[in-house]
Amino acid sequence: MPITDLLERNSKLYGEDVALVEINPELKEEQRVTWKEYELIQPTSSIFYRRSITWDVFDEKANRVANMLIDQGILPGQKCAILLMNCLEWLPIYFGILKAGAIAVPLNFRFTAEEIEYCLKASDADVLFYGPEFIGRIEEIANKLKTNTLLYFVGDYCPSYAEDYYRRSSYSSSVAPRILIQDSDEAAIYFSSGTTGFPKPILLLHEALSQSAMMEAIHHKTTREDTFLCIPPLYHTGAKMHWFGSLYTGSKAVLLKGNSPESILSSVSNEGCTIVWLLVPWAQDILAALDSGRLKKEDYRLSQWRLMHIGAQPVPPSLIRRWLEYFPNHEYDTNYGLSESTGPGCVHLGLENVHKVGAIGVPGYGWKIKIVDENNKPVKQGDVGELCVKGRGVMVEYYKNPEATAEVLENGWLHTGDMARQDEEGFIYLVDRKKDVIISGGENLYPVQIESFLAAHPKIHDVAVIGLPDHRLGEIAAAIIQVKEGMELTEDEVNEFCRELPRYKRPRKLIFADVIRNATGKIDKPKLRSIYGGERLVEEQYKS
Protein backbone atom coordinates (compact mmCIF):
# COMPACT_ATOMS: atom_id res chain seq x y z
CA MET A 1 0.00 0.00 0.00
CA PRO A 2 1.50 3.40 -0.97
CA ILE A 3 1.97 5.66 2.03
CA THR A 4 -0.54 8.17 0.59
CA ASP A 5 -3.34 5.58 0.87
CA LEU A 6 -2.97 5.66 4.67
CA LEU A 7 -3.72 9.38 4.76
CA GLU A 8 -6.78 9.00 2.53
CA ARG A 9 -8.02 6.09 4.66
CA ASN A 10 -7.66 8.17 7.84
CA SER A 11 -9.58 11.03 6.26
CA LYS A 12 -12.47 8.69 5.44
CA LEU A 13 -12.52 6.83 8.76
CA TYR A 14 -11.44 9.49 11.27
CA GLY A 15 -12.02 12.72 9.35
CA GLU A 16 -13.12 14.91 12.26
CA ASP A 17 -10.51 13.61 14.70
CA VAL A 18 -7.41 15.69 15.37
CA ALA A 19 -4.43 14.43 13.37
CA LEU A 20 -1.71 16.97 14.16
CA VAL A 21 -1.14 19.56 16.85
CA GLU A 22 1.65 22.13 16.73
CA ILE A 23 2.90 23.65 19.99
CA ASN A 24 5.09 26.74 20.03
CA PRO A 25 6.11 27.09 23.70
CA GLU A 26 7.70 30.50 23.16
CA LEU A 27 4.22 32.00 22.81
CA LYS A 28 1.36 32.34 25.29
CA GLU A 29 -1.03 29.47 25.86
CA GLU A 30 -4.09 31.58 25.13
CA GLN A 31 -2.84 31.99 21.56
CA ARG A 32 -4.63 28.97 20.14
CA VAL A 33 -6.45 28.26 16.91
CA THR A 34 -8.88 25.47 16.00
CA TRP A 35 -8.91 23.69 12.68
CA LYS A 36 -11.97 25.69 11.58
CA GLU A 37 -10.18 28.95 12.30
CA TYR A 38 -7.14 27.55 10.51
CA GLU A 39 -9.32 27.08 7.41
CA LEU A 40 -10.55 30.67 7.53
CA ILE A 41 -7.41 32.68 8.22
CA GLN A 42 -4.46 30.42 7.28
CA PRO A 43 -2.42 31.39 10.36
CA THR A 44 1.30 30.77 10.46
CA SER A 45 3.06 29.22 13.42
CA SER A 46 4.76 32.52 14.26
CA ILE A 47 1.64 33.92 15.94
CA PHE A 48 -0.01 31.00 17.75
CA TYR A 49 0.93 28.87 20.74
CA ARG A 50 -1.21 25.97 19.54
CA ARG A 51 -2.56 25.02 16.12
CA SER A 52 -4.29 21.80 15.10
CA ILE A 53 -5.77 20.11 12.06
CA THR A 54 -8.02 17.10 11.61
CA TRP A 55 -7.39 14.17 9.28
CA ASP A 56 -9.93 15.70 6.86
CA VAL A 57 -8.08 19.01 6.72
CA PHE A 58 -4.70 17.27 6.52
CA ASP A 59 -5.82 15.29 3.48
CA GLU A 60 -7.48 18.30 1.88
CA LYS A 61 -4.32 20.40 2.31
CA ALA A 62 -2.25 17.63 0.74
CA ASN A 63 -4.66 17.46 -2.21
CA ARG A 64 -4.39 21.22 -2.74
CA VAL A 65 -0.59 21.02 -2.75
CA ALA A 66 -0.69 18.12 -5.22
CA ASN A 67 -3.04 19.94 -7.60
CA MET A 68 -1.05 23.16 -7.28
CA LEU A 69 2.08 21.33 -8.39
CA ILE A 70 0.28 19.56 -11.22
CA ASP A 71 -1.21 22.88 -12.40
CA GLN A 72 2.30 24.32 -12.42
CA GLY A 73 3.46 21.56 -14.74
CA ILE A 74 5.18 19.28 -12.24
CA LEU A 75 5.09 15.71 -13.53
CA PRO A 76 5.37 12.38 -11.69
CA GLY A 77 8.98 11.65 -10.83
CA GLN A 78 10.06 15.28 -10.55
CA LYS A 79 11.65 16.33 -7.27
CA CYS A 80 10.25 18.82 -4.77
CA ALA A 81 12.39 19.93 -1.83
CA ILE A 82 11.17 21.02 1.62
CA LEU A 83 13.20 23.43 3.76
CA LEU A 84 11.04 24.19 6.78
CA MET A 85 11.26 24.22 10.52
CA ASN A 86 8.79 21.83 12.17
CA CYS A 87 5.34 23.28 11.59
CA LEU A 88 1.78 22.27 10.81
CA GLU A 89 2.35 22.84 7.08
CA TRP A 90 5.29 20.41 6.84
CA LEU A 91 3.49 17.07 6.53
CA PRO A 92 0.60 18.23 4.28
CA ILE A 93 3.22 19.61 1.88
CA TYR A 94 5.18 16.34 2.04
CA PHE A 95 2.08 14.27 1.28
CA GLY A 96 0.93 16.70 -1.39
CA ILE A 97 4.21 16.15 -3.20
CA LEU A 98 3.71 12.38 -2.98
CA LYS A 99 0.08 12.61 -4.15
CA ALA A 100 1.26 14.46 -7.25
CA GLY A 101 3.45 11.44 -8.02
CA ALA A 102 6.50 13.60 -7.38
CA ILE A 103 9.45 12.82 -5.12
CA ALA A 104 9.79 14.61 -1.78
CA VAL A 105 13.26 15.89 -0.84
CA PRO A 106 13.47 17.00 2.82
CA LEU A 107 16.43 19.26 3.60
CA ASN A 108 18.23 19.80 6.90
CA PHE A 109 17.27 23.22 8.23
CA ARG A 110 20.82 23.61 9.51
CA PHE A 111 22.27 23.55 5.98
CA THR A 112 24.26 26.56 4.84
CA ALA A 113 23.38 28.26 1.56
CA GLU A 114 26.18 26.30 -0.12
CA GLU A 115 24.84 22.99 1.21
CA ILE A 116 21.28 23.86 0.17
CA GLU A 117 22.48 24.63 -3.35
CA TYR A 118 24.44 21.38 -3.48
CA CYS A 119 21.48 19.28 -2.30
CA LEU A 120 19.02 20.91 -4.70
CA LYS A 121 21.35 20.17 -7.60
CA ALA A 122 22.29 16.67 -6.41
CA SER A 123 18.61 15.70 -6.17
CA ASP A 124 17.57 17.45 -9.43
CA ALA A 125 14.97 19.41 -7.47
CA ASP A 126 12.53 21.46 -9.57
CA VAL A 127 10.59 22.91 -6.62
CA LEU A 128 11.54 24.26 -3.20
CA PHE A 129 9.13 24.98 -0.35
CA TYR A 130 10.86 27.15 2.26
CA GLY A 131 10.06 29.22 5.32
CA PRO A 132 10.95 32.73 6.50
CA GLU A 133 13.98 31.48 8.47
CA PHE A 134 15.73 30.70 5.19
CA ILE A 135 15.15 33.88 3.17
CA GLY A 136 18.76 35.01 3.51
CA ARG A 137 20.19 31.65 2.51
CA ILE A 138 17.89 31.29 -0.50
CA GLU A 139 18.68 34.83 -1.67
CA GLU A 140 22.37 33.86 -1.70
CA ILE A 141 21.80 31.05 -4.17
CA ALA A 142 18.60 32.00 -6.05
CA ASN A 143 20.50 33.07 -9.17
CA LYS A 144 22.48 29.81 -9.19
CA LEU A 145 19.46 27.52 -9.33
CA LYS A 146 17.87 26.16 -12.49
CA THR A 147 16.02 28.92 -14.29
CA ASN A 148 12.69 27.08 -14.07
CA THR A 149 12.94 26.21 -10.35
CA LEU A 150 9.66 26.95 -8.57
CA LEU A 151 10.08 28.62 -5.17
CA TYR A 152 7.12 28.48 -2.76
CA PHE A 153 7.33 30.64 0.35
CA VAL A 154 5.54 29.25 3.42
CA GLY A 155 5.01 32.25 5.69
CA ASP A 156 3.92 35.86 5.86
CA TYR A 157 5.21 38.59 3.50
CA CYS A 158 6.23 36.46 0.53
CA PRO A 159 9.37 37.70 -1.28
CA SER A 160 8.79 39.02 -4.80
CA TYR A 161 10.81 36.25 -6.44
CA ALA A 162 8.77 33.42 -4.86
CA GLU A 163 5.20 32.10 -5.04
CA ASP A 164 2.95 32.54 -2.00
CA TYR A 165 2.23 28.97 -0.84
CA TYR A 166 -0.95 29.92 1.03
CA ARG A 167 -2.46 31.91 -1.82
CA ARG A 168 -1.49 29.44 -4.54
CA SER A 169 -2.69 26.35 -2.68
CA SER A 170 -6.00 27.97 -1.69
CA TYR A 171 -6.85 28.38 -5.39
CA SER A 172 -6.17 24.71 -6.15
CA SER A 173 -8.67 21.85 -6.07
CA SER A 174 -9.18 20.00 -2.80
CA VAL A 175 -10.07 16.78 -4.66
CA ALA A 176 -7.44 14.03 -4.78
CA PRO A 177 -5.63 14.07 -8.13
CA ARG A 178 -6.02 11.05 -10.38
CA ILE A 179 -2.42 9.94 -10.16
CA LEU A 180 -1.84 6.19 -9.87
CA ILE A 181 0.77 5.52 -7.19
CA GLN A 182 2.22 2.07 -6.57
CA ASP A 183 4.51 0.56 -3.93
CA SER A 184 7.27 0.28 -6.51
CA ASP A 185 7.20 4.02 -7.29
CA GLU A 186 9.97 6.31 -6.11
CA ALA A 187 8.80 8.40 -3.16
CA ALA A 188 11.55 10.38 -1.46
CA ILE A 189 15.18 11.43 -1.46
CA TYR A 190 16.74 11.92 1.95
CA PHE A 191 20.29 13.09 2.53
CA SER A 192 22.76 11.12 4.59
CA SER A 193 26.45 11.42 5.15
CA GLY A 194 29.81 9.97 4.43
CA THR A 195 33.10 11.11 5.86
CA THR A 196 34.12 12.90 2.70
CA GLY A 197 32.12 16.10 2.98
CA PHE A 198 28.69 16.77 1.53
CA PRO A 199 25.88 14.28 2.24
CA LYS A 200 24.68 11.80 -0.36
CA PRO A 201 21.10 11.65 -1.72
CA ILE A 202 19.26 8.43 -0.80
CA LEU A 203 16.39 7.25 -2.98
CA LEU A 204 13.50 5.44 -1.26
CA LEU A 205 10.35 3.75 -2.61
CA HIS A 206 6.77 4.04 -1.38
CA GLU A 207 7.14 0.44 -0.28
CA ALA A 208 9.94 1.45 2.09
CA LEU A 209 7.86 4.22 3.66
CA SER A 210 4.86 1.92 4.13
CA GLN A 211 7.08 -0.76 5.68
CA SER A 212 8.43 1.73 8.20
CA ALA A 213 4.89 2.81 9.16
CA MET A 214 3.73 -0.75 9.81
CA MET A 215 6.96 -1.58 11.64
CA GLU A 216 6.71 1.44 13.94
CA ALA A 217 3.14 0.61 14.91
CA ILE A 218 4.07 -3.02 15.60
CA HIS A 219 7.27 -2.25 17.53
CA HIS A 220 5.60 0.24 19.86
CA LYS A 221 2.13 -1.30 19.96
CA THR A 222 0.62 1.96 18.76
CA THR A 223 -3.17 2.20 18.83
CA ARG A 224 -5.80 4.79 17.95
CA GLU A 225 -5.79 5.87 21.60
CA ASP A 226 -2.11 6.82 21.59
CA THR A 227 -0.74 10.34 21.19
CA PHE A 228 2.82 10.68 19.93
CA LEU A 229 5.01 13.62 20.91
CA CYS A 230 7.40 14.46 18.06
CA ILE A 231 10.26 16.80 18.96
CA PRO A 232 13.10 16.14 16.46
CA PRO A 233 13.03 17.86 13.05
CA LEU A 234 10.84 16.27 10.40
CA TYR A 235 13.60 16.31 7.78
CA HIS A 236 15.13 13.42 9.77
CA THR A 237 14.00 9.96 8.74
CA GLY A 238 13.98 9.25 12.48
CA ALA A 239 11.29 11.79 13.36
CA LYS A 240 9.24 11.17 10.22
CA MET A 241 9.25 7.39 10.39
CA HIS A 242 8.42 7.34 14.10
CA TRP A 243 5.43 9.58 13.31
CA PHE A 244 4.45 7.09 10.61
CA GLY A 245 3.22 4.86 13.47
CA SER A 246 0.56 7.52 14.17
CA LEU A 247 -0.29 7.68 10.48
CA TYR A 248 -0.65 3.90 10.34
CA THR A 249 -3.07 3.81 13.28
CA GLY A 250 -4.87 7.10 12.65
CA SER A 251 -3.83 8.50 16.01
CA LYS A 252 -2.96 12.01 17.13
CA ALA A 253 0.56 13.43 17.09
CA VAL A 254 1.97 16.61 18.60
CA LEU A 255 4.77 18.59 16.93
CA LEU A 256 6.66 20.43 19.68
CA LYS A 257 8.77 23.39 18.56
CA GLY A 258 11.17 23.23 21.49
CA ASN A 259 12.96 20.72 23.67
CA SER A 260 13.22 22.25 27.14
CA PRO A 261 12.22 19.96 30.03
CA GLU A 262 9.34 22.32 30.85
CA SER A 263 7.93 22.31 27.32
CA ILE A 264 8.23 18.54 26.99
CA LEU A 265 6.48 17.76 30.28
CA SER A 266 3.85 20.44 29.67
CA SER A 267 3.06 19.03 26.24
CA VAL A 268 2.83 15.48 27.59
CA SER A 269 0.53 16.75 30.32
CA ASN A 270 -1.69 19.09 28.29
CA GLU A 271 -2.02 16.92 25.19
CA GLY A 272 -2.23 13.56 26.93
CA CYS A 273 0.85 12.19 25.17
CA THR A 274 1.46 8.47 25.63
CA ILE A 275 4.55 7.93 23.45
CA VAL A 276 7.58 10.23 23.48
CA TRP A 277 10.77 9.90 21.47
CA LEU A 278 13.74 11.64 23.09
CA LEU A 279 17.38 12.18 22.31
CA VAL A 280 19.89 11.49 25.08
CA PRO A 281 20.50 15.20 25.89
CA TRP A 282 16.80 15.89 26.33
CA ALA A 283 16.35 12.91 28.64
CA GLN A 284 19.35 14.06 30.64
CA ASP A 285 17.96 17.59 30.87
CA ILE A 286 14.64 16.27 32.21
CA LEU A 287 16.43 14.18 34.83
CA ALA A 288 18.60 17.13 35.85
CA ALA A 289 15.54 19.35 36.24
CA LEU A 290 13.83 16.71 38.37
CA ASP A 291 16.98 16.09 40.43
CA SER A 292 17.37 19.79 41.19
CA GLY A 293 13.72 20.23 42.11
CA ARG A 294 13.24 22.85 39.38
CA LEU A 295 10.51 20.59 37.99
CA LYS A 296 8.21 18.36 40.00
CA LYS A 297 6.42 15.36 38.52
CA GLU A 298 3.29 16.05 40.55
CA ASP A 299 2.82 19.38 38.75
CA TYR A 300 2.05 17.53 35.51
CA ARG A 301 -0.42 14.92 34.31
CA LEU A 302 1.93 12.11 33.32
CA SER A 303 0.14 8.91 34.30
CA GLN A 304 -0.93 8.21 30.70
CA TRP A 305 2.69 8.40 29.41
CA ARG A 306 3.50 4.74 28.75
CA LEU A 307 6.57 4.67 26.45
CA MET A 308 9.82 6.58 26.25
CA HIS A 309 12.19 5.59 23.48
CA ILE A 310 15.53 6.90 22.31
CA GLY A 311 17.48 6.73 19.07
CA ALA A 312 20.09 8.54 16.95
CA GLN A 313 23.04 7.86 19.29
CA PRO A 314 24.31 5.32 21.83
CA VAL A 315 22.35 5.31 25.08
CA PRO A 316 24.24 5.03 28.40
CA PRO A 317 22.64 2.27 30.51
CA SER A 318 23.01 4.49 33.58
CA LEU A 319 20.66 7.02 31.96
CA ILE A 320 17.86 4.49 31.60
CA ARG A 321 18.38 3.20 35.13
CA ARG A 322 17.97 6.75 36.43
CA TRP A 323 14.97 7.33 34.18
CA LEU A 324 13.17 4.29 35.52
CA GLU A 325 13.71 5.51 39.07
CA TYR A 326 11.52 8.52 38.24
CA PHE A 327 9.22 6.69 35.82
CA PRO A 328 9.13 3.06 36.99
CA ASN A 329 6.05 2.23 34.91
CA HIS A 330 7.48 3.38 31.60
CA GLU A 331 8.14 0.98 28.77
CA TYR A 332 11.43 1.64 27.03
CA ASP A 333 12.85 0.99 23.59
CA THR A 334 15.89 2.05 21.62
CA ASN A 335 15.96 2.10 17.83
CA TYR A 336 18.83 1.73 15.41
CA GLY A 337 18.75 2.61 11.75
CA LEU A 338 20.08 4.73 8.93
CA SER A 339 18.49 6.90 6.29
CA GLU A 340 19.64 4.18 3.89
CA SER A 341 17.31 1.80 5.76
CA THR A 342 14.38 4.27 5.83
CA GLY A 343 15.28 5.45 9.28
CA PRO A 344 15.06 3.71 12.66
CA GLY A 345 13.86 0.24 13.42
CA CYS A 346 15.84 -2.22 11.31
CA VAL A 347 17.25 -3.13 14.74
CA HIS A 348 15.38 -2.33 17.95
CA LEU A 349 15.66 -3.32 21.59
CA GLY A 350 12.00 -4.26 22.12
CA LEU A 351 9.66 -3.09 24.88
CA GLU A 352 10.21 -6.22 26.95
CA ASN A 353 14.01 -6.07 26.91
CA VAL A 354 14.93 -3.17 29.17
CA HIS A 355 17.32 -5.55 30.98
CA LYS A 356 19.39 -5.52 27.78
CA VAL A 357 19.98 -1.76 27.69
CA GLY A 358 23.38 -1.19 26.11
CA ALA A 359 22.47 -3.40 23.16
CA ILE A 360 20.82 -1.88 20.09
CA GLY A 361 18.61 -4.96 20.04
CA VAL A 362 17.40 -7.57 17.60
CA PRO A 363 16.28 -7.43 13.96
CA GLY A 364 13.16 -5.30 13.54
CA TYR A 365 9.88 -6.37 11.99
CA GLY A 366 10.55 -7.54 8.42
CA TRP A 367 14.34 -7.21 8.73
CA LYS A 368 17.28 -9.62 8.57
CA ILE A 369 20.80 -8.95 9.87
CA LYS A 370 24.24 -10.45 9.52
CA ILE A 371 27.67 -9.50 10.83
CA VAL A 372 30.53 -9.99 8.38
CA ASP A 373 34.31 -9.73 8.21
CA GLU A 374 36.37 -7.75 5.70
CA ASN A 375 35.83 -10.55 3.16
CA ASN A 376 32.04 -10.35 3.56
CA LYS A 377 31.96 -13.70 5.37
CA PRO A 378 29.79 -14.12 8.50
CA VAL A 379 31.83 -13.90 11.71
CA LYS A 380 31.46 -16.28 14.64
CA GLN A 381 28.85 -15.32 17.21
CA GLY A 382 30.44 -12.89 19.63
CA ASP A 383 33.11 -11.73 17.18
CA VAL A 384 33.19 -8.17 15.87
CA GLY A 385 32.36 -7.44 12.25
CA GLU A 386 30.40 -5.05 10.07
CA LEU A 387 26.64 -4.98 10.61
CA CYS A 388 24.58 -5.60 7.46
CA VAL A 389 20.79 -5.37 7.19
CA LYS A 390 18.24 -6.51 4.61
CA GLY A 391 14.56 -5.70 4.22
CA ARG A 392 11.95 -3.77 2.26
CA GLY A 393 13.22 -0.54 3.77
CA VAL A 394 16.64 -0.68 2.11
CA MET A 395 17.22 2.22 -0.25
CA VAL A 396 17.17 1.86 -4.02
CA GLU A 397 20.47 3.65 -4.43
CA TYR A 398 22.49 6.73 -3.72
CA TYR A 399 20.77 8.82 -6.38
CA LYS A 400 22.84 8.94 -9.59
CA ASN A 401 25.91 7.61 -7.77
CA PRO A 402 26.42 3.97 -8.82
CA GLU A 403 29.95 3.81 -7.42
CA ALA A 404 28.90 4.84 -3.91
CA THR A 405 25.86 2.55 -4.16
CA ALA A 406 28.02 -0.45 -5.07
CA GLU A 407 30.17 0.15 -1.98
CA VAL A 408 27.25 -0.43 0.42
CA LEU A 409 24.67 -2.56 -1.43
CA GLU A 410 25.22 -6.20 -2.33
CA ASN A 411 22.40 -8.62 -3.22
CA GLY A 412 19.93 -6.55 -1.23
CA TRP A 413 22.18 -6.34 1.84
CA LEU A 414 23.03 -2.88 3.13
CA HIS A 415 26.49 -2.58 4.67
CA THR A 416 25.96 -0.08 7.48
CA GLY A 417 29.59 0.80 8.13
CA ASP A 418 29.01 0.08 11.83
CA MET A 419 31.06 -2.51 13.66
CA ALA A 420 29.01 -4.78 15.90
CA ARG A 421 28.87 -8.08 17.75
CA GLN A 422 26.00 -10.40 18.66
CA ASP A 423 25.66 -12.11 22.03
CA GLU A 424 24.46 -15.64 22.70
CA GLU A 425 20.84 -14.45 23.00
CA GLY A 426 20.95 -12.75 19.61
CA PHE A 427 21.19 -9.15 20.85
CA ILE A 428 23.40 -6.85 18.82
CA TYR A 429 25.90 -4.41 20.35
CA LEU A 430 27.60 -1.62 18.45
CA VAL A 431 31.36 -1.60 18.99
CA ASP A 432 32.55 1.28 16.84
CA ARG A 433 31.73 3.10 13.64
CA LYS A 434 33.60 2.20 10.53
CA LYS A 435 32.97 5.69 9.30
CA ASP A 436 34.26 8.73 11.11
CA VAL A 437 31.00 10.65 11.20
CA ILE A 438 30.48 12.30 14.58
CA ILE A 439 26.96 12.07 16.03
CA SER A 440 26.49 14.97 18.42
CA GLY A 441 23.07 15.37 20.01
CA GLY A 442 21.55 13.32 17.20
CA GLU A 443 23.10 15.47 14.45
CA ASN A 444 25.73 14.17 12.04
CA LEU A 445 28.93 16.20 11.83
CA TYR A 446 31.31 15.61 8.94
CA PRO A 447 34.93 15.96 10.11
CA VAL A 448 36.30 16.67 6.62
CA GLN A 449 34.14 19.79 6.31
CA ILE A 450 35.31 21.14 9.66
CA GLU A 451 38.93 20.23 8.90
CA SER A 452 38.78 21.99 5.56
CA PHE A 453 37.39 25.11 7.20
CA LEU A 454 40.03 25.21 9.95
CA ALA A 455 42.84 24.50 7.52
CA ALA A 456 42.19 27.90 5.97
CA HIS A 457 43.39 29.65 9.15
CA PRO A 458 46.77 31.27 8.42
CA LYS A 459 48.36 29.93 11.62
CA ILE A 460 47.21 26.31 11.30
CA HIS A 461 49.62 23.83 9.78
CA ASP A 462 47.51 20.68 10.09
CA VAL A 463 44.23 19.72 11.71
CA ALA A 464 42.21 16.60 12.52
CA VAL A 465 38.67 16.48 13.85
CA ILE A 466 37.55 13.47 15.87
CA GLY A 467 34.59 12.59 18.04
CA LEU A 468 35.05 12.28 21.78
CA PRO A 469 32.39 10.90 24.16
CA ASP A 470 30.23 13.43 25.93
CA HIS A 471 27.82 12.63 28.76
CA ARG A 472 25.07 14.87 27.40
CA LEU A 473 25.48 14.93 23.62
CA GLY A 474 26.83 11.43 23.07
CA GLU A 475 29.83 12.85 21.22
CA ILE A 476 31.45 16.22 20.66
CA ALA A 477 33.72 17.37 17.88
CA ALA A 478 37.31 17.84 19.06
CA ALA A 479 39.89 19.54 16.84
CA ILE A 480 43.54 18.55 17.13
CA ILE A 481 45.38 21.59 15.81
CA GLN A 482 49.02 21.65 14.78
CA VAL A 483 50.19 25.25 14.72
CA LYS A 484 52.63 26.47 12.09
CA GLU A 485 56.19 26.52 13.32
CA GLY A 486 57.20 29.78 14.96
CA MET A 487 53.62 30.95 15.41
CA GLU A 488 51.32 31.11 18.41
CA LEU A 489 47.60 30.47 18.35
CA THR A 490 45.08 30.76 21.17
CA GLU A 491 41.71 29.12 21.77
CA ASP A 492 40.05 32.54 21.59
CA GLU A 493 41.49 33.10 18.12
CA VAL A 494 40.25 29.73 16.90
CA ASN A 495 36.80 30.21 18.42
CA GLU A 496 36.52 33.64 16.83
CA PHE A 497 37.54 32.15 13.47
CA CYS A 498 34.89 29.44 13.86
CA ARG A 499 32.11 31.99 14.23
CA GLU A 500 31.76 31.66 10.44
CA LEU A 501 30.70 28.03 10.93
CA PRO A 502 27.13 27.11 11.93
CA ARG A 503 27.09 26.79 15.71
CA TYR A 504 26.47 23.03 15.70
CA LYS A 505 29.58 22.45 13.56
CA ARG A 506 31.99 24.37 15.77
CA PRO A 507 34.48 22.17 17.64
CA ARG A 508 33.62 22.01 21.33
CA LYS A 509 37.13 21.00 22.34
CA LEU A 510 40.46 22.33 21.03
CA ILE A 511 43.68 20.37 21.44
CA PHE A 512 46.98 21.97 20.37
CA ALA A 513 49.26 19.08 19.36
CA ASP A 514 50.84 17.35 16.39
CA VAL A 515 48.44 15.63 13.99
CA ILE A 516 49.41 11.98 13.60
CA ARG A 517 49.29 10.54 10.11
CA ASN A 518 50.01 7.00 8.96
CA ALA A 519 52.47 5.82 6.33
CA THR A 520 50.08 6.57 3.51
CA GLY A 521 49.55 10.15 4.68
CA LYS A 522 46.07 9.62 6.11
CA ILE A 523 45.18 11.00 9.52
CA ASP A 524 45.36 8.20 12.07
CA LYS A 525 42.06 8.91 13.80
CA PRO A 526 41.83 5.67 15.80
CA LYS A 527 45.19 6.50 17.38
CA LEU A 528 44.16 10.08 18.06
CA ARG A 529 40.97 8.89 19.73
CA SER A 530 42.99 6.49 21.83
CA ILE A 531 45.47 9.18 22.89
CA TYR A 532 42.83 11.77 23.76
CA GLY A 533 40.51 9.52 25.71
CA GLY A 534 37.96 8.39 23.16
CA GLU A 535 38.21 4.64 23.61
CA ARG A 536 38.84 4.80 27.36
CA LEU A 537 35.94 7.17 28.00
CA VAL A 538 33.55 5.13 25.89
CA GLU A 539 34.41 2.02 27.90
CA GLU A 540 33.98 3.82 31.21
CA GLN A 541 30.69 5.42 30.15
CA TYR A 542 29.09 2.13 29.22
CA LYS A 543 30.26 0.41 32.39
CA SER A 544 28.49 3.04 34.46
pLDDT digits 0-9 by tens, 381-438: 999 889 999 999 999 999 999 999 999 999 999 999 888 899 999 999 887 666 677 8
Q: Among residues 433, 466, 492, which one ends one of the domains?
A: 433
Closest CA to 186 of 97, 120, 68, 84: 97
Q: Among residues 433, 461, 487, which one ends one of the domains?
A: 433
pLDDT for position 406: 96
Residues 426 and 444 both lie in one domain? no
Question: Is residue 184 scored above 60 in pLDDT?
Answer: yes
pLDDT digits 0-9 by tens, 173-182: 999 999 999 9
Pairing between strand 385-390 and 368-372? antiparallel
Q: What percent of the chain has pLDDT over 90?
A: 66
Residues 346 and 448 both lie in one domain? no
Q: Among residues 409, 433, 457, which one ends one of the domains?
A: 433
Residues 131 and 200 both lie in one domain? yes
Residues 386 and 531 both lie in one domain? no
Find the CATH number of the domain harbouring 148. Answer: 3.40.50.12780
Residues 226 and 356 both lie in one domain? no
- Enclosing domain of residue 370: 307-433
Residues 65 and 27 both lie in one domain? yes
Task: Give yes or no for a contact between 468 and 529, defined as CB atoms under 8 angstroms apart.
Answer: yes
| Average pLDDT along the chain | 89
The helix (H) or strand (E) run that includes residue 166 is helix 165-170
pLDDT for position 314: 65
CA distance 317 to 312: 15
Residues 102 and 134 both lie in one domain? yes
In a domain, 296, yes or no: no
| Residue 32 pLDDT class (50, 70, 90 cuts) | low
Backbone angles phi, psi at 214, to 5 degrees: -60, -45
Residues 429 and 456 both lie in one domain? no
In a domain, 354, yes or no: yes
Find the CATH number of the domain harbouring 385. Answer: 2.30.38.10
Question: Is residue 488 scored above 50 in pLDDT?
Answer: yes
Question: Is residue 40 scored above 50 in pLDDT?
Answer: no
pLDDT for position 29: 60
Residues 479 and 401 both lie in one domain? no
Return the sign of the alpha-carbon dihedral for residues 437, 205, 397, 432: positive
pLDDT digits 0-9 by tens, 509-543: 999 999 887 644 567 887 888 898 754 333 333 33
In a domain, 287, yes or no: no
In a domain, 294, yes or no: no
| Residue 288 pLDDT class (50, 70, 90 cuts) | confident
Question: Is residue 462 scored above 90 in pLDDT?
Answer: no
Find the CATH number of the domain harbouring 490. Answer: 3.30.300.30
In a domain, 268, yes or no: no
What's the structural domain count of the chain? 3
pLDDT for position 82: 98
Name the E strands within 391-437: 397-398, 409-410, 413-422, 428-433
Closest CA to 389 of 437, 341, 335, 334: 341
pLDDT digits 0-9 by tens, 251-271: 999 999 988 999 999 999 999
Query: What does each C-alpha distance from 427 to 22, 289, 312, 359, 362 come to in angstroms?
Result: 37, 33, 18, 6, 5
pLDDT digits 0-9 by tens, 194-253: 434 578 999 999 999 999 999 999 999 999 999 999 999 999 888 899 999 999 999 999
Query: What does each C-alpha distance from 137 to 43, 114, 130, 232 come to in angstroms?
Result: 24, 8, 10, 22
Reduced to 3 states (helix: H, G, I; strand: E, B; else coil), residue 32 is: strand
CA distance 43 to 33: 8
Residues 209 and 161 both lie in one domain? yes
Question: Is residue 348 scored above 90 in pLDDT?
Answer: yes
pLDDT for position 539: 34
Residues 60 and 157 both lie in one domain? yes
In a domain, 95, yes or no: yes
pLDDT for position 518: 60
- Give the global pTM: 0.82
pLDDT digits 0-9 by tens, 355-366: 898 889 999 999
pLDDT for position 52: 93
In a domain, 217, yes or no: yes
Closest CA to 127 of 92, 91, 64, 83: 83
CA distance 368 to 218: 16
In a domain, 87, yes or no: yes
Residues 104 and 76 both lie in one domain? yes
pLDDT for position 195: 37
